[in-house]
Structure 1
Amino acid sequence: MARITAGIATSHVPAIGAAIDLGKTQDEYWKPIFDGYEFVKEWIKSNTPDVVILVYNDHASALMLDIVPTFAIGFADEFLPADEGWGRRPVPTVHNHSDLAAHVAEQLVIDEFDITIINEMDVDHGCTVPLSLVFGQPEEWPCKVIPLAVNVTQFPTPSGERCWKLGEAIRNAVKTFPEDLNVQIWGTGGMSHQLQGTRAGLINAEFDNRFLDLLAHEPEELTPMTRIEYLREAGTEGIELIMWLIMRAALGYGVEELHRFYRVPASNTAVGHVVYEARS
């Protein structure tokens, strides 16, 4: 049967993608950030999964504001990098594992998640920047990727508790898939940041590091946190951290933290990154 073996979480700052694409990763400003990803780039070489379920949010690239699904899963065979206003990123096309995506979607509906099925969409920096940070700049991504989009841009957003339950449902769905697959789940976005308004530039390192402390071994402390608490403590875009809860719940309660990285700032945001291995 399929199994979720590991989880990765990372910020998906669009300027990080631009730094990669423009060859600026060793510039004085960017080098300390990319150094924090050297561990995962080496680790993934001997731990490349068959499939990544990549939990991210669209930034009005494919899912425009006229239709905003709470949770959506990609069903197309492939997904092109989105043109976010300055052309498509020069990164590989994302190829889906359609059979597993269909199985997960069916099981989520059985578990009373009204998941939206998307048969055609492009994927923006929320999806492609994490892939670049982990896999570098290959000709093709080395595994299949199932995009799972979460609404964290338009009210009402899902609660942290609902996201945790979604992660548990994904875990249960994957382990009932009959094919022998090594699956990883990635949570993206965050950490604390606010891009507009009177608090633009807000970064709360104390909140971020406590979140990281709890996420590994006491995640139950995070699930009751309300959307208002995320907004107050981590800024308007800090709500993206609920997608990390989906990743964490899908791993089960026992994990080993292999790597943790935190850096301020990166394009006016806080960057966080963890690598977890699921315990049997």
Structure 2
Amino acid sequence: MARITAGVGTSHVPLLGVAADGGKDRDAYFGPIFAGYDWTREWEKGEKPDVVILVYNDHASAFDANIIPTFAIGTGERYKPADEGWGPRKVPDVIGDPDLAWHIAQSLILDEFDMTIVNEMDVDHGLTVPLTMMFGAPAAWPVKVVPLAVNVVTYPVPSGNRCWALGEAIARAVASYPEDLNVQIWGTGGMSHQLQGPRAGLINAEWDKRFMDRLIGETDELRHVPHLEYLRETGSEGIEMVMWLIMRGALGKKTRLLHRHYHVPCSNTAIGHIVLEPET
């Protein structure tokens, strides 16, 4: 059967794509950021996952105010990089796994999660930047990807508890898939940041690091953190961190830390990155 072997959490700051695409990833500013992913890039070469379920949020590329799905799963064969206003990133198309994606969609819907099913969409930096950070600049991405888009842009956004429970349901879906696949699940977005208003530029490193601490081990405290705490402590865009909880929920009762990285600053936020495996 298919199995989820690891979970990865990472920021998806668009400036990282700009740095990588422009060959600036090892300069004085970006070097310490990208160095925190060197361990993961080597680890991924050994792990050789078949599929990544990549949890991210769209930034008005595939969805806008006309349609706002809370949870949307991509079931297509191929996804092109989106034009976010300055042309599409010159990175490979993302190759999907329609069979696995449709299986997960069916399982989640029968498990009482109301998923939006998307057969065609472009994917923006929320999805392509994490692939760059983990795999560099290959001619083709070395994994298939099942995109899972979460609304964390327009309120109401899903609760941490609902995201954690969705991760648990995804784990059940993957475990019931008959093909022998090595599957990873990635949660992206965050860390603390605010893009507008008098609190623009807010970074709460203490809260960010404690958030990462609580992804490790047996605690499920994070699933009960209310939206108000994210807003108060991490800024209006810090709510993106609920997407990491889908990854954590999919890893089961207990996790083991393999790698973590935290760096300030990157653009107007911090970089957070963690690699976990389920501990049984």
- The one-letter amino acid of 1:171's match is A
Q: Which runs of 4+ in 1 moved over 4 A?
A: none
Counterparts of 1:14 and 1:219, CA distance in 2: 31
Counterparts of 2:218 and 2:197, CA distance in 1: 33
- The answer for the alignment partner of 2:195 in structure 1 is 195
- The one-letter amino acid of 1:175's match is A
> What do you get for the CA RMSD once the two structures are aligned?
0.7
CA displacement 1:96-121 (0-9 Å, x = unmatched):
11000000000100111000001110
- The answer for the alignment partner of 1:61 in structure 2 is 61
Does the CA-based 8 Å contact 2:218-2:255 persist in structure 1? no
Q: Structure 1 residues 73 and 152, CA, compared in 2 at 3 Å: closer, same or farther? A: same
Counterparts of 2:156 and 2:168, CA distance in 1: 22
Equivalent residue of 1:265, what SS?
A: strand
- The answer for the alignment partner of 2:108 in structure 1 is 108
How far did residue 26 of structure 1 move?
A: 1.2
- TM-score, length of structure 2 as denominator length: 0.99
- The one-letter amino acid of 2:32's match is P
CA displacement 1:146-183 (0-9 Å, x = unmatched):
00000000010000000000000000000000011110
- The answer for the alignment partner of 2:10 in structure 1 is 10
Equivalent residue of 1:26, what SS?
A: coil
Equivalent residue of 2:146, what SS?
A: strand
- The one-letter amino acid of 1:237's match is E
- The answer for the alignment partner of 1:160 in structure 2 is 160
Aligned pair 1:240/2:240, yes or no?
A: yes
How far did residue 254 of structure 1 move?
A: 2.1
Counterparts of 1:219 and 1:243, CA distance in 2: 17
- The answer for the alignment partner of 2:139 in structure 1 is 139
- The answer for the alignment partner of 1:220 in structure 2 is 220
- The answer for the alignment partner of 2:21 in structure 1 is 21
How far did residue 219 of structure 1 move?
A: 3.9
Further displaced range: 147-156 or 216-225: 216-225
- TM-score, length of structure 1 as denominator length: 0.99
Aligned pair 1:270/2:237, yes or no?
A: no
Task: After TM superposition, list the pairs within 5 Å mapping 1:84-123 onto structure 2.
Answer: 84-123=84-123
How far did residue 218 of structure 1 move?
A: 4.5
How far did residue 277 of structure 1 move?
A: 1.6
Equivalent residue of 1:207, what SS?
A: helix
- The one-letter amino acid of 2:51's match is V
Counterparts of 2:22 and 2:61, CA distance in 1: 22
Equivalent residue of 1:163, what SS?
A: helix
Unmatched tracts of structure 1, length 5 or more: none
- The answer for the alignment partner of 1:204 in structure 2 is 204
- The one-letter amino acid of 1:177's match is Y
Equivalent residue of 2:247, what SS?
A: helix
- The one-letter amino acid of 2:66's match is D
